[in-house]
Amino acid sequence: MAKEKLVIKPKKYRGPTAVVSARLPGEMVKAIDSIAAKTGYNRNEVIEKCLEYAIDNMEGRK
């Protein structure tokens, strides 16, 4: 089965937020920044979309 692609759609306001800090490998940050530059989103928005996708598609989640 082919993997489903992550599609980044327009940002929607969803209420209160929290600040979370994480250490990421430098190459991963470069990849995220590249995606952000190509899509017009900022780094935070790209990370948020990636995490939403991962959580929604995680095995054993449902």
pLDDT above 90 for 16: no
Per-residue confidence (pLDDT) for residue 15, from 0 to 100: 81
Per-residue confidence (pLDDT) for residue 4, from 0 to 100: 82
Q: State the total domains in the chain.
A: 1
For helices 43-56 and 26-39, what crossing angle results, to 10°? 100
Task: Name the residue range of residue 36's domain.
Answer: 26-56
Per-residue confidence (pLDDT) for residue 13, from 0 to 100: 63
For residue 50, being part of any structural domain is answered with: yes
For residue 37, being part of any structural domain is answered with: yes
For residue 43, being part of any structural domain is answered with: yes
For residue 45, being part of any structural domain is answered with: yes
For residue 12, being part of any structural domain is answered with: no
Give 42-52 pLDDT, tens digit per residue: 999 999 999 99
Considering only residues 39 and 3, tell me which one the structure prediction assigns the higher pLDDT.
39
Give 17-36 pLDDT, tens digit per residue: 888 999 999 999 999 999 99
